[in-house]
Each structure stands twice: as structure tokens, then as C-alpha cells.
Amino acid sequence: MSLTEPPAPATGAQAAVPAQAAVPAQEAVPAQAAGSPATGRCPDCGAPLPPPGRFPLWCASCEWNLLPPEPSTAGLPGRARRRAERAARRTARERQAVRERTEQVFRLVAADGSKLRHGSAVAAFLLAGAVHLVSLAVLLAGVALLAGWPAPSWPARALGAFALVLAFLLRPRLGRPQREGVLAREAAPELYGLVDAVAAELGAPPVHSIVVTGQFNASFGSYGLRRHRQLEIGLPLWTVLGRQQRVALLGHELGHDVNQDSRRGLWTGAAVNALVEWERLTRPSRDNEDYNNPLTAVASSAANLVLGVVNLGVRAVAGLMYRLHLRDGQAAEYRADRMAARLTSARDAQGMLRAQFHAPTLETVLARQRALARPRPGVPAPGLWEALAEAAGSVPASEEERRVRVSEREVSASDSSHPPTYLRLRMLAAAPPADRPPVVLDAGRAGVIEAELAGSRVRIAAELL
């Protein structure tokens, strides 16, 4: 789960108000009743406004000032104004298309259709096969040319050697687990015990390693031929979560290991990684162009032109793969959210999602901490994690509600592969209530885990500051 969130201060908090409920229509307010921010009333509908503070002032009734006003095009020259208006209409059409696609997936999953294999998933599987066939064809061509087929010659063998090198570069990538920041099981038995309990409850195999990073993020992946299962925990995100929200986070990430997410499968996942490598290898570069030599400049330009055409084709295939994966991938995210709610509660799972909105809070806290005096060069100022937790906890419910509504207005998500955050919250609002969470992180166990993470906190604070 990548937690970079919409432009409005949002990623990755604790309120559980179902903010997706429709905003009730307001009756017209008489002119004399219409207020202004200075009087504490909305200038559009006259509804009471929350007290002013460090967050934008907005009206929950009519959504006045929910987003900054669009810049006016009235003062632009005619051609620039028409260009800006066309761009605005194009953006609106694209946003509406995204809304229709994502809400269609939402309705399908809400109707318990999430386990149905859609035609796009089959098409993605076949496209992945085509990607692997290209790599295999290049490999076989290199072997054949080196072996002297169809006719032995040194140019053919040189071309065969080049094809083998290219096949090696284009090979399917299974990924590698991270080595930096790995927390050994012996050094954190309580944290591993909690993760193992979550995995056992979900029916997932235990993880092989846990990586603690400075990202406002969390993720899970299987890497290499042995499918090394690695959980990544971003310490800033972990810090702003409550105890049961942390369990929900673990449940969501480990849920991807059991929820039939085709994006993470060995076949299609390796094809996606191979396409990423193809795009990198075929990306034109102008670093080697020498415009002082006309012949070299022409040759470089011609090579970049050919590479540009190939790169455009690779990007088109990668974009098609993304579109084919979109429906199945978003359904997998909903399923992972449901697993998180089953482990804890819908309220805790919603709080975990709302924590994504605190990514800008981390940047603000880091800026303030960097301005503090250091005991000595290279030593971070104390209080980073306390300041982050305090800043995230001081966000009022009205600001969290505003961020959720911005997500709905802009159809924004934690990243392009995830459903919009407002739909994920709406899905969780309909989750059945749990009598008692099967996995509980009590205060004592949480304290032991915090002690196990103490060394990582010092290391990551130094990296961030």
C-alpha cells in the first residue's frame, strides 16, 4: 500500500466517521442570514463554520472552499483562454472516466463479485505470456546464431553474442528482497510474533523478513525464485497509527498474499518487472551526443529516433498491462481492506486508511525538526517521533472529513493502482461488525514492540533529518 495521497493535505487519520455519505441539500439562506468566515458562518449557505486554525476553513454543508478556486481565464488572450478551457474539459472527461471505472469495480466487489475472474485478468495473463515469449525468442535466437544456424559466420556469432546479452538484460525480473534496514527475528521476537499471528489468522505463510524504513508507507512482496516474503513497515506511518490500526495495516499488507492479487503473481508480476526493465533499456539518451562532430551527431540522432519508437511501443504495452490489471488489482485492494477489518474492526481499518492523509504532516514536522539546534553535527534533534505523533493526533475531525471529500471530488487514491480512498472507506463502512477482534495488540505488547524498534527509530531519524 503506497501512501502518497491527494494534493490536499490528506496518503496513508484516526476518525471513523463515514465521510462518503451524501451531503444533504441545503435550503436557500436569506441574504441577511448569509455570513462570512469572519462571522463564523459560511458565506454561501450561512451554515456554522468550524473555528479557524492552521487548516483551511471550509463548509461541510455546501462544501464552500473545499478546494482552492480555479484560476480565472477571463484575462487571458483568446488563444490561451481557449487552450486552457480545452485542457479543463479534457481533465474533467478523464476524471469522469476514472470515476466510472472505479465505481464499477466498487459495485462489483460490493455485490460479492470480487472473486469472479474478469476477461481483463485473462488478457493480462496472455499479454504476460507474450512478454515472456519475446525474451525467450531473443535467447533462442542468440543460441542459434552462436551455434552456427542458419549459416556459420563471425558476424552471425557476434550478433548471437549480442542477442544473448540482450536476452540477459530482458530476462524476467523476480525482484530481490531489501537488505538495508532488515530487522532480524532474534532482535524483534514480539513484532515477528504479532506479524505471525496476523498471518496465521489470514491463512498466509509467515514472513521471512521485516524491513523498517523511513517511508510513509507499508508494503508486502514475494521476491526471487524462492519467493522470499518480505514485509516493509514505514516507521513514520507506524508512528501515527493506533494499536489496532497497526494490526489493520499488517492485515491489509499480508492479505495480499492470500487474496489472489494477480499483480503479485509469479507469471504476471515477472512480466511487469520485465517491462519496466525494457522501458529503461530503450529510453533514448542524449548524454553521448557530440554536436561538434556532424557524423556522430547524425548517428546519435538516428539511434535515439529508433530507440524512441521502440520505447514508445514498450510504454504502450506497459500501459495496456496496467489497464488490464486495474480492475483485478483494485478488487484485490478491497479484499485486503476487508481482511484488515475482519482482524480488528471496520473503524480501525478506516482509521488506518485515513492515516494515509498524514504524509504532508510528516514533511511539516521534518521541516521544523531540521530547523532545531543539534547537540553536535550529525546527531538528530530529539523528539521527532513524539512531534509527529502529536501533530497527526491534533488534526481535527473536520479536516479529516475535508480530505476525504477532496478524495471524492478529485477521485484521488494513494497511488494509481489503488481504488480512490473515499470508495475504500465506503466499502469498509458496510463491513459487518465484529464481536471481538481475533488479534489484539494490547498496551504491554505494544510497549515491547516499541522497545524493539528503538534502534530503528534512531537510525531512521538520522536518515530523515
C-beta neighbour count of 90 within 10 angstroms: 10
Using the predicted structure, report yes or no on whether residue 175 has a pLDDT greater than 60: yes
pLDDT at 6: 31
Exposure pattern of 419-428 as b/e (b: 16+ CB <10 Å)? bbbbbbbbbb
pLDDT at 290: 54
- Specify the residue for cell string 471513523: 16
- Least confident stretch, 152-156, 181-185, 248-252, 297-301: 297-301
C-beta neighbour count of 239 within 10 angstroms: 22
pLDDT band with cut points at 50, 70 and 90 for residue 259: confident
The three cell numbers of residue 72 are 480565472
Find which of 111-120, 296-305, 327-336 is predicted with most confidence, using mean pLDDT: 327-336
C-beta neighbour count of 133 within 10 angstroms: 10
How far is Cα 191 from Cα 409, in angstroms, rounded to an integer? 38
How far is Cα 182 from Cα 208, in angstroms, rounded to an integer? 10
pLDDT at 22: 33
Q: Tell me the CA distances in angstroms from 261 to 119, 125, 256, 257, 267, one per residue in order.
A: 15, 12, 6, 8, 12
How far is Cα 312 from Cα 407, in angstroms, rounded to an integer? 31
Please, what is the end-to-end C-alpha distance for the chain in angstroms?
A: 24
Of 195, 220, 248, which is closest to residue 13 (Cα–Cα)? Answer: 248
How far is Cα 168 from Cα 139, in angstroms, rounded to an integer? 8
Backbone angles phi, psi at 229, to 5 degrees: -90, 115
Using the predicted structure, report yes or no on whether residue 189 has a pLDDT greater than 80: yes
Q: Tell me the CA distances in angstroms from 230 to 175, 177, 197, 336, 440, one per residue in order.
A: 11, 7, 16, 17, 22
Query: CB–CB of 45/64 below 8 Å?
Result: yes
Write out pLDDT tens, residues 272-314.
878 888 888 888 876 655 556 677 777 777 878 888 888 899 8
Using the predicted structure, report yes or no on whether residue 10 has a pLDDT greater than 50: no
pLDDT at 405: 92
How far is Cα 47 from Cα 44, in angstroms, rounded to an integer? 8
- Least confident stretch, 175-179, 180-184, 290-294, 381-385: 290-294
Write out pLDDT tens, residues 418-446.
889 999 999 999 887 777 889 999 999 99
pLDDT at 232: 95
Cβ neighbours for 271, distance < 8 A, ≥ 6 positions apart: 127, 128, 129, 131, 132, 172, 321
Query: CB–CB of 99/411 below 8 Å?
Result: yes
The three cell numbers of residue 124 are 493480462
Q: Which residue has the higher pLDDT, 199 or 375?
A: 199
Write out pLDDT tens, residues 315-331.
898 888 877 777 778 88
Q: Between β-strands 228-234 and 209-213, what pairing exists: parallel, antiparallel or unpaired? A: parallel
Query: How far does Cα 136 stand from its chain's mean position?
Result: 32
Q: What angle do CA 35, 41, 43 make, to 5 degrees?
A: 45
Cβ neighbours for 42, distance < 8 A, ≥ 6 positions apart: 34, 35, 48, 49, 59, 61, 62, 64
pLDDT at 382: 61
Query: How far does Cα 213 stand from its chain's mean position?
Result: 15
Instruction: Please state the three-class secondary structure of 119-185 as a single string.
Output: HHHHHHHHHHHHHHHHHHHHHHHHHHHHCCCCCCCHHHHHHHHHHHHHHHHCCCCCCCCCCCCEECC
Dihedral sign computed on CA atoms, order 341, 344, 348, 352 = negative
C-beta neighbour count of 51 within 10 angstroms: 9
pLDDT band with cut points at 50, 70 and 90 for residue 111: confident
Backbone angles phi, psi at 209, to 5 degrees: -155, 155
pLDDT at 430: 85
Query: CB–CB of 358/9 below 8 Å?
Result: no
How far is Cα 166 from Cα 169, in angstroms, rounded to an integer? 5
